[in-house]
Amino acid sequence: MCPIKPADRLSSVQEYYFSRKLKEVAQMNADGLDVISLGIGSPDLPPSQEMRKVMCEETMKADVHGYQPYVGIPELRNAFSQWYQKWYGVDLDPATEIQPLIGSKEGILHITLAFVNPSETVLVPDPGYPTYTSLSTLLGANVVSYNLKPELGWYPDFEELEKMDLSHVKLMWTNYPQMPTGANATPELYEKLVAFAQKHNIVIVNDNPYSFILNKTPLSILSVKGAKDCCIELNSMSKAHNMPGWRVGMVASNAQFIQWILKVKSNIDSGTFRPMQLASAKALEAERDWYEGNNAVYAQRRHLAGEIMKTLGCTYNEDQVGMFLWGEIPSELNNVEELTEKILHQARVFITPGFIFGNNGKRYIRLSLCCKEEKLAEALQRIKSVM
């Protein structure tokens, strides 16, 4: 082979855990082992029939297949603006304060590129979504974890944060409802975060895709007075609208921040397929019964997931929201993989070990609710047979 080496930055990260582990699960399935996956949070319920109809009708038109505006079409920006007003009570100018994205995950890249110079500091939650850390590391940022603790409800320890050297911090990533812990946001938490950002001249980026899942009071950090000046919020249609494969998300903030993000985005990708944007705008018209219908299904699944937790000897907080269940493993176990590997290879059920979310998750597991009830019931029986 040619003596070609990859870029040095690749040595700072590993392949995404689910990319790596799901290869193993796929091989087990290929070998006929029929693994039930309670790992990744990919909604298995369909999007609304109305939005799928729009997608089909628009796709059949002859003149919709060209490049689309980098800023997204007005119909989608207006729909996002109306959605934020209706459900979060937040006023957003659709022309200047909203940027549609090809899924909110790409927004993590665009925001980091727009705001953070190499060697500047980014604060990431522990436990938290691994992509906050990996993308920041790839881009040469100095990544510093801040603790989320169960005794504080998995909220930031502001006294601990104030003792840190914050002089070089540009961004602080937050995610509420929190993944993986299921901790819900409160107006008081968001007010504290905004005050912290203003005091230290830090941009708070709140990742908010789970606010409609098993949650009666969706909140946005942008509802706090002055938040738009120092905060950015990501949102997604993957979870609440059952559209993970469609890759439609958005970022909202003040006009200047959005313009900086667009400056990056427009040099990396192009606009989303027009019929997909129109269908997404239709999905955003959903009324309360849509969200309640999804949540009725998730509530049934959540009950079965709780039974799995109990069978495994794990403890969990009943007040969690979102599409996962987060539980602490029994004290007699040496480490979480002692449990997850046993369940994978003996019960043929894949569950996520909490260490992938940070050091504070090393004695926890996460169960996804994106699995049909009959499969969850079968997983429960398999686990009972080996425990």
Domains of the chain by residue range: 8-46+289-386, 65-283
Nearest to 279 by CA among 312, 307, 242: 242
* pLDDT given at position 16: 74
Positions of the chain with pLDDT under 70:
1
Given this structure, which CATH class describes domain 65-283? alpha beta
Per-residue pLDDT tens over the stretch 37-88: 998 889 999 999 999 999 999 999 999 999 999 999 999 999 999 999 999 9
Maximum Cα–Cα distance across the chain: 64
Query: Distance from CA of residue 186 to its chain's centroid?
Result: 18
* pLDDT given at position 22: 82
pTM for this predicted structure:
0.93
Per-residue pLDDT tens over the stretch 212-227: 999 999 999 999 999 9
Determine if residue 33 is left, alpha or beta; phi over 0 gives left, psi from -120 to 50 gives alpha, anything else beta: alpha
| DSSP alpha helix (H) spans, 42-116 | 49-59, 74-88, 104-115
The two three-digit tokens of residue 1, written as one number: 């082979």
* pLDDT given at position 307: 97
CATH of domain 8-46+289-386: 3.90.1150.10
For residues 311 and 203, give the distance between their C-alpha atoms in angstroms, rounded to a whole number: 42
The two three-digit tokens of residue 129, written as one number: 């979504």
For residues 248 and 51, give the distance between their C-alpha atoms in angstroms, rounded to a whole number: 13
* pLDDT given at position 262: 97
